[in-house]
A and B are shown apart, each in its own frame.
Chain A
């Protein structure tokens, strides 16, 4: 396919973005996800207006460890007297940025590498998979410690490390799926009609892996937010910024539980939960919009079930059903058949 053609398609796709969002909106789950995510983003953008206090103000020695009140809806920190509600609002900026940024970058890199390895095969495949093998045995955490001490504790470095070492898992899964897809008969039919590799990759292979990519983006976005909390716990986060993860770390360090200040821990937890929840909803609905007729058997639902093992339950149940089916006939043959009764 020639370049102008591709550009044309991209332009046409862009035009349908509005209708795409509209489809998301029409779906109840999608609407919920969109509203939540939109609200979170709005809070992040409007943080300076919404926050009643300056969350970076660490000089309020008189207001340390206040319990929730009308002045301080979530109280203040025990160590420096920062307003927790304001921190929560400002924290959404860093947390959302890290989560979404890493999730999207990771999905992009993982999908690209996985599809290239699986579809092009041969030398490219070997190269990518050897890199994956090497990456998989390098422990990430010590590396982050080393890199942050070398390059400074900026979130950019942390995101970079997460992306560079996180794409391998996705790439492997996608590669194995691509290997299946590329031998499917519909790809053969397209090749027979003279389709280019680019066409097959973008029209058949990549859409075929979309559920994995979307799922992975939603999951890693969520995971990274939590991981950032972990890093902050270890004192590896950016010391000058406020994030939900860092709030958790500070709550721990400031003895929130000791003082019975549970809201200090719950607040950032709810922030992380809401983002994860909205990403997941949007992910599921995007998958459904892409695959209008795969709803019932939507692969992303299967993945979901896989995650909490209900999928296995279903398999076992169907096995049991089959068993009872096998067992039934002898019983029937002993009992008089309905036809026999009537005839």
Chain B
């Protein structure tokens, strides 16, 4: 793989990516239905940054992350890594092109094979590449063990001997042994005890600094994203609701969903009265969602047109697009039809 110089474009670029999963119908030969896990997502991750993906559980974050690194073939759209369209490559070249991408998994308990020793787990990527000798691999594993804060003695122990946080460290060592440039962290701490969150995050940040990595950081924890991400997208039911630099989004959230999320989490200033926006209902099913704004059933400021007319991403300020009719407005014709009227009077609750 020829490395493009950093200034020729983003390291990773997704264009109108959609991922659908078929669901079995209630009876054979019934009309095929689709889970629209990710719909029409475009984003760019530039070299060296930490890019956040935020959203509720089940909104398609993992699916999107998998599509980025070539683990899930998108139904539509293109994914370009270093300017190369990943999914148009032949399998052999594809494997080569992907060698600089790695992932840290959400669940540290299912991400390590219980039958492998720590040494076998960490060296596995090198072993698969098959170019390093046993002694070279051992030295490398030892170096990484120290880096992630584990002992030399841990090398021949098995995953069941370790706590969640330690397992995640093992997973991190495995992910960086091939010196990747691009690392997807899929909620690396959400399955862990709160007390070790900071340690793991600090470790990740140290590694990023010392190895000049680009991170995509998936999370549903807004405070974490605020602290470590430069740019981010907010997802809801498979679509991007708002994107931009995290400074801009946290300072000036524009989408009703983002506002609700922020009001629920970032109540650090206890002196101010809390005016939390409570969302009614649950996340609707991602199977065959309605054509309009995906958020309309739960949106506190939904308008009559929201259910039927798709909300397109529109830039409010440079580099801060938002998908909401409140921002982009309706056309004069639609306004004349009364589509901009609120669905029901809201009482702020």
Do A and B form a real pair? yes
Enumerate chain A interface residues (CB-CB to B < 8 A). Answer: 1, 5, 184-186, 188-195, 199, 204, 207-208, 290-294
The 5 sampled A-B contact pairs (Cβ below 8 Å) are A184-B113, A185-B105, A185-B110, A186-B110, A293-B159
Q: Which residues of the partner chain B approach A184 to less than 8 Å between Cβ atoms?
A: 110-111, 113
- Determine whether the beta carbon of B178 is less than 8 Å from that of A193: yes
Q: Is the CB of B102 within 8 A of A192?
A: yes
Is B124's beta carbon under 8 Å from chain A? yes
- On whether the beta carbons of A188 and B114 are closer than 8 Å, the reply is no
Specify the chain B residue showing the minimal Cβ separation from A207.
B115
B105 lies within 8 A of A192 (CB): no
Alpha-carbon distance between A10 and B60 when the two chains are bound, in angstroms: 42
CB <8 Å contact, B99 and A194: yes
A186–B112 alpha-carbon span in the complex (Å): 5
B98 touches which one: A1, A194, A207, A290 (CB < 8 A)?
A: A194
Chain B residues with Cβ under 8 A from A294's Cβ? 114-115, 160
- Is the Cβ of A190 less than 8 Å from the Cβ of B115? no
**CB distance A193 to B128 under 8 Å?**
yes
Q: Please classify the interface of chain A as helix (H, G, I), strand (E, B), loop, or mixed, using the class held by over half of its residues.
A: helix
Given A204-B113, A207-B115, CB of A189 within 8 Å of CB of B128: no
A186 contacts across to B, CB distance below 8 A: 110-113, 116, 121
- Number of interface residues, chain B, beta carbon within 8 A: 34
- In the complex, which residues of chain A have a beta carbon less than 8 angstroms from the beta carbon of B157? 293
Complex contacts, A189 vs chain B, CB 8 Å: 103, 105, 111, 124-125, 171, 174-175
**0/1 interface trace, chain B 154-181, chain A, CB 8 Å (1 if under):** 0001111100000000010011001000
A199 touches B128 (CB 8 A): yes
B212 close to A (CB within 8 Å): no
Does B69 reach chain A (CB closer than 8 Å)? Answer: yes
Evaluate contact between A192 and B114: CB separation under 8 angstroms: no
Measured CB to CB, the closest approach of chain A to B231, in angstroms, equals: 24
Cα–Cα distance between A207 and B115 once the two chains are bound (Å): 8
Other than the given A186-B111, A189-B105, A192-B103, 20 more pairs (CB < 8 A) read A184-B111, A185-B105, A185-B106, A185-B111, A188-B103, A188-B105, A189-B103, A189-B124, A189-B174, A189-B175, A192-B101, A193-B129, A194-B125, A194-B128, A195-B128, A292-B158, A293-B160, A293-B161, A294-B114, A294-B115
B316 in contact (CB, < 8 A): no
Which residues on the B side are within 8 Å of A207 (C-beta)? 115
Complex CA–CA separation, A291 to B116 (angstroms): 9
B69 pairs with A192, CB closer than 8 A? yes
Interface status of B71 (Cβ within 8 A of chain A): yes
Kindly state whether residue B24 has any CB partner on chain A within 8 Å: no
Q: Which of B99, B107, B114 contacts A185, CB < 8 Å? A: B107
B95 at the A interface (CB under 8 A): yes
- Which residues of B in the span 87-128 have a Cβ within 8 Å of any Cβ on A? 95-96, 98-99, 101-103, 105-107, 110-116, 121, 124-125, 128
Quick one: which of B106, B107, B124 has the most chain A CB within 10 A? B124
Question: What residue in chain A is nearest B121 (Cβ atoms)?
Answer: A186
Q: Which 4 pairs, one residue from A and one from B, show the smallest C-beta to C-beta distance? A: A193-B125, A293-B158, A185-B111, A185-B105
**Residues of A contacting B129 in the complex (Cβ-Cβ under 8 angstroms):** 193-194
**Bound-complex Cα distance A297 to B99 (A):** 36
Residues of the A chain whose Cβ atoms lie less than 8 Å from the Cβ of B103: 188-189, 192
CB distance from A221 to the nearest CB of B (A): 24
Q: In the complex, what residue of chain A is closest to B114 when comparing beta carbons?
A: A294
Q: How far is the CB of A206 from chain B (nearest CB, A)?
A: 11
Contacting pair A208 B128 (CB below 8 A): no
Question: Are B124 and A193 within 8 A (Cβ)?
Answer: yes
Instruction: Please state if B115 and A208 are interface contacts (CB–CB under 8 Å).
Output: yes
| Bound Cα distance from A192 to B161, whole angstroms | 25
Known: A207-B115, A208-B115. A191 touches B71 (CB 8 A): yes
Given A185-B105, A204-B113, A293-B160, CB of A190 within 8 Å of CB of B124: yes
